[in-house]
């Protein structure tokens, strides 16, 4: 089973069923709620709703790759926590204490990924500039969001290049030669990421942006009833998560907080 089979397809022009401003509001609400809610019950509500939201974009392969990367980072974090607990007697290791932080990461993944995969760079720039943010804030913000799908394409290209050179990227090969696989994958991805971030920044500036200038978008954003329904549903989910946190969160084990 090869790595490139799980990588996202080539990114074309993203299509979004919701206005980018509605997706930004959902991301902001989820960010605030996942910080306030510290119980497993409340985080479970946020995770279930955000996962359904992420699946609505219908980019299942990209979502699977993102979850695989998140699981890898979680495994490394758990291993490091266990190692520290073995070295320091006053810091016991409890797997239950990692559940809520890991769920917070998954919730943010579920809301940021649809914003990145289903939003055009022009729509992002228009929405961010409409918030009266400084030029040095909204331009890097749009570039960072659009960097996510571009980075996925870079991973795909590196995997295909290694396949052409005869390198096997199956799970068995990665377990047998982990350091060689890290060298073959991480080094090209590092240079590709640096070049991609620079290209995205240049492309955004070439769209007519200036620190004090104004630009007219090719497609003006239109707020629809679907966008209003999405925001109302997001507020309802946050309210339900807060209720579950207040109602049952105090009865949870302290290790879960």
How many angstroms separate the CA atoms of 24 and 194, rounded? 26
How many angstroms separate the CA atoms of 69 and 12, rounded? 23
Average pLDDT value for residue range 53-75: 87
In this predicted model, what pLDDT tens digit does every residue of 73-120 receive, in sequence order?
A: 888 888 888 888 888 777 777 777 888 889 999 999 999 988 888 877
- Lowest mean pLDDT across 106-115, 123-132, 198-207: 198-207
With a CB cutoff of 8 Å and minimum separation 6, the contacts of 102 are: 74
In this predicted model, what pLDDT tens digit does every residue of 136-165 receive, in sequence order?
A: 777 777 777 777 777 777 777 777 877 777
Q: Where are the domains of the chain?
A: 3-9+18-256
Please check whether residue 143 is in contact with residue 204, taking contact to mean a CB–CB distance below 8 angstroms. Answer: yes
**56-63 — which CB contacts under 8 Å span 24+ positions?**
56/17, 56/114, 57/113, 57/114, 57/117, 57/118, 59/8, 59/113, 59/117, 61/6, 61/7, 61/8, 61/9, 62/8, 62/113, 62/117, 62/149, 62/152, 63/113
Token pair for residue 71? 């699981």
How many angstroms separate the CA atoms of 105 and 20, rounded? 22
Token pair for residue 189? 């991805």
pTM above 0.75, yes or no: no
Selected residue with higher pLDDT from 14 and 188:
188
């Amino acid at each position: 089973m090869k790595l490139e089979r799980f990588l996202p397809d080539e990114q074309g022009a993203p299509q979004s069923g919701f206005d980018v401003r509605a997706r930004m509001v959902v991301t902001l609400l989820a960010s605030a709620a996942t910080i306030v809610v510290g119980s497993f019950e409340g985080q479970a509500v946020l995770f279930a709703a955000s996962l359904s939201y992420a699946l609505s974009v219908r980019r299942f392969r990209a979502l699977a790759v993102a979850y695989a990367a998140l699981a890898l980072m979680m495994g490394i974090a758990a291993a490091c926590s266990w190692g520290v607990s073995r070295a320091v007697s006053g810091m016991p290791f409890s797997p239950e204490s990692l559940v809520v932080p890991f769920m917070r990461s998954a919730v943010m993944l579920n809301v940021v990924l649809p914003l990145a995969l289903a939003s055009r760079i022009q729509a992002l720039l228009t929405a961010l500039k409409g918030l009266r943010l400084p030029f040095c804030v909204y331009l890097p913000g749009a570039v960072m969001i659009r960097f996510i799908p571009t980075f996925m394409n870079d991973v795909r290209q590196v995997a295909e290049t290694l396949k052409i050179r005869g390198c096997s990227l199956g799970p068995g090969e990665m377990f047998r030669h982990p350091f060689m696989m890290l060298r073959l994958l991480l080094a090209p991805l590092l240079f590709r990421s640096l070049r991609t971030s620079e290209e995205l920044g240049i492309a955004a500036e070439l769209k007519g942006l200036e620190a004090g200038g104004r630009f007219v978008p090719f497609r003006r954003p239109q707020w629809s009833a679907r966008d209003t329904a999405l925001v109302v549903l997001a507020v309802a989910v946050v309210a339900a998560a807060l209720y579950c946190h207040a109602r049952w969160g105090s009865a949870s084990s302290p290790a879960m907080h």
